Amino acid sequence: MATVKDKPVAKSFDLSKYQISGKSVTRVIDLGDDSFEVRVKELSWFQRNTLMSRCMQIKGNSESTFDGALFVREVLKEIIVEAPWGKTTDLFLTSIDSRLGQALETLVSSMSGGSEELSLDETKKG
């Protein structure tokens, strides 16, 4: 329950606690017989929601569909900043097999805001 106080709060609001750092981190992709490093960055809340909106189609009868494949592809292109293959593009993503694709999918849930409300499996079902 919210309360009203006569005295101002002694602690000030620290915006930096709620902002993404903008720094990239190194993640190791392990494919069993092969492993390599990629550098990834975190998506902001706004970037994530913008991508989700692009992947959602609302129909006239109040129904909506979500293109999970498009969402995963667009997130990967945004978050991977350095990889052995160079820039992550549509051409690259359509050329890889399921072993590498599934490994890269794990980056989506770990770097796209970690939403508890929309898991990667739910996204793919879309």
Angle at alpha carbon of residue 63, lines to 57 and 67, rounded to 5°: 35
Tell whether pTM > 0.85.
no
pLDDT tens digits along 21-70: 888 999 999 999 999 999 999 999 999 999 999 999 988 888 899 999 99
Residue type, 31: L
Q: What is the pLDDT of residues 57-116, one digit of tens each?
A: 988 888 899 999 999 999 999 999 999 999 999 999 999 999 999 999 999 987 655 444
Q: How many CB atoms lie within 10 A of CB 13?
A: 7
Higher pLDDT among residues 87 and 4, named by residue: 87
Q: What is the pLDDT of residue 2?
A: 62
